[in-house]
């Protein structure tokens, strides 16, 4: 039977629209900017490290010919997030995608977590995701049906680690935020999902992965026998932003080479 409520093919998604990527200057965020630019999507690279954000924006423009823009910003500053909306929309033409990849690990068992550490981790990893969604909502809405948001959570959002108290709480919080926001955003045909990477070869993990025994152990623990590249995660994010994911919202995609499927953490 034909479903008359299904959107027409040409109304699905917004494949040429711009995407704002926080944490776009390094690791998963950087790979995401490049993966998006490689399929013709304009990108606005947001990062607290302005030099690396600029460099990534330049790569996207010079290597892939897309419009690009960068912003040096601390996403724990809500006012700065709000002030970043108009310049990004103006530079890209419109914004139909948002990726919150900026994150900090803030390691420490509960005995070592003071208010300052707690706030610094939660503000960047979790609160910024909510504020970004709120301030970009009008732009995502006016960009057309098919606008989409991806929050970069972690397998640590699904399983606990005693040494990553605030981090685990922030990443689990992103999963709850994603579920809650899917209802409000669905009213405007905007999708939102989380991606949960396992161990990824990025500057954040570099100190750990530089230790051969740890790298070997983490690689062997995953059924696919290796740690992820940032590009592995970027492709999943690009998928969730695309028409291919047109009926996926409010959920999380674990991209960990099978790490937690076999209880390896
Ligand atoms: N690397 C992993 O194994 C792994 C696993 C699971 C989840 N993640 C998540 O993936 C995301 C990206 O991490 P990554 O591994 O690419 O690390 P990364 O350190 O390479 O990149 C993080 C980026 O976020 C930026 N950033 C940090 N604080 C910021 C702030 N206050 N405002 C704006 N930008 C800020 C940094 O400057 C950096 O460019 C993070 O949310 C992280 O928690 C990483």
> What's the pLDDT at 250?
98
pLDDT tens readout for residues 177-210 = 999 999 999 999 999 999 999 999 999 999 999 9
Instruction: Assign 5 a pLDDT band (cuts: 50, 70, 90).
Output: low
Distance from the alpha carbon of residue 178 to the mean position of ligand 1, in angstroms: 18
Q: Which domains does the chain carry?
A: 15-255 (3.40.50.720)
* Band of residue 13 on the pLDDT scale cut at 50, 70, 90: low
pLDDT at 174 over 50: yes
Cα 201 from Cα 226, distance rounded (Å): 10
Residue 50 has pLDDT above 50, yes or no: yes
CA 155, chain centre distance (Å): 14
What does the pLDDT average to over 137-163? 95
Does the beta carbon of 29 sit less than 6 angstroms from any atom of ligand 1? yes
Span from the CA of 237 to the centroid of ligand 1 (angstroms): 14
Kindly tell me if the per-residue pLDDT of 8 is higher than 70.
Answer: no
**Strand order across the beta sheet in which 43-47 lies:** 68-72, 43-47, 18-22, 95-100, 148-152, 191-197, 252-255
Instruction: Please report where in the chains the tokens 């640590």 appear, as a residue.
Output: 156
Distance 100 CA to ligand 1 centre (A): 9
Evaluate: CB of 76 within 6 angstroms of ligand 1: yes
**175 touches 150 (CB < 8 A):** no
111 Cα to the center of ligand 1, angstroms: 24
Instruction: List C-alpha distances in Å: 53 to 43, 158, 233.
Output: 11, 30, 19
Task: For the chain, give the mean pLDDT.
Answer: 94
Residue 16: pLDDT band with limits 50, 70, 90: confident
Ligand 1 atom closest to 75 (CA): 32
Alpha carbon nearest to ligand 1 atom 1, residue: 200
Residue 263: Cβ within 10 Å count: 8
The residue-averaged pLDDT of 67-95 equals: 98
* Residues with catalytic roles: 167
C-beta 257 within 6 A of ligand 1: no
Mean pLDDT, range 68-84, rounded to an integer: 98
Ligand 1 pocket, residue 27 CB under 6 Å? yes
């Amino acid at each position: 039977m034909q479903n008359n409520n299904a959107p027409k093919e040409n109304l699905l998604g917004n494949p040429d629209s711009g995407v704002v990527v926080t944490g776009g200057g390094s690791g998963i965020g950087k790979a995401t900017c490049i993966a998006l630019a490689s399929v013709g999507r304009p990108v606005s690279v947001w990062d607290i490290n302005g030099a690396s954000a600029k460099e990534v924006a330049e790569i996207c423009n010079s290597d892939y010919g897309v419009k690009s823009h960068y912003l040096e910003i601390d996403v724990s500053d809500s006012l700065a997030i709000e002030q970043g909306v108009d310049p990004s929309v103006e530079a890209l033409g419109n914004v139909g995608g948002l990726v919150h990849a900026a994150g900090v690990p803030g390691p420490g068992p509960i005995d070592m977590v003071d208010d300052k550490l707690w706030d610094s981790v939660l503000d960047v990893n979790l609160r910024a995701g909510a504020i970004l969604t709120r301030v970009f909502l009008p732009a995502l809405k006016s960009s057309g049906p098919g606008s989409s948001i991806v929050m970069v959570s972690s397998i640590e959002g699904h399983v606990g680690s005693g040494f990553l108290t605030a981090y685990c709480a922030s990443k689990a919080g992103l999963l709850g935020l994603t579920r809650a926001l899917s209802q409000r955003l669905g009213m405007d045909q905007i999708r939102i999902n989380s991606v949960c990477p396992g161990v990824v070869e990025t500057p954040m993990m570099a100190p750990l992965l530089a230790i051969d025994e740890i790298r070997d152990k983490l690689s062997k623990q995953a059924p696919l026998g290796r740690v992820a590249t940032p590009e592995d995660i970027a492709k999943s994010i690009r998928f969730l932003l695309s028409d291919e994911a047109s009926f996926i919202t409010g959920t999380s995609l674990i991209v960990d080479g099978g790490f937690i499927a076999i209880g390896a953490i």
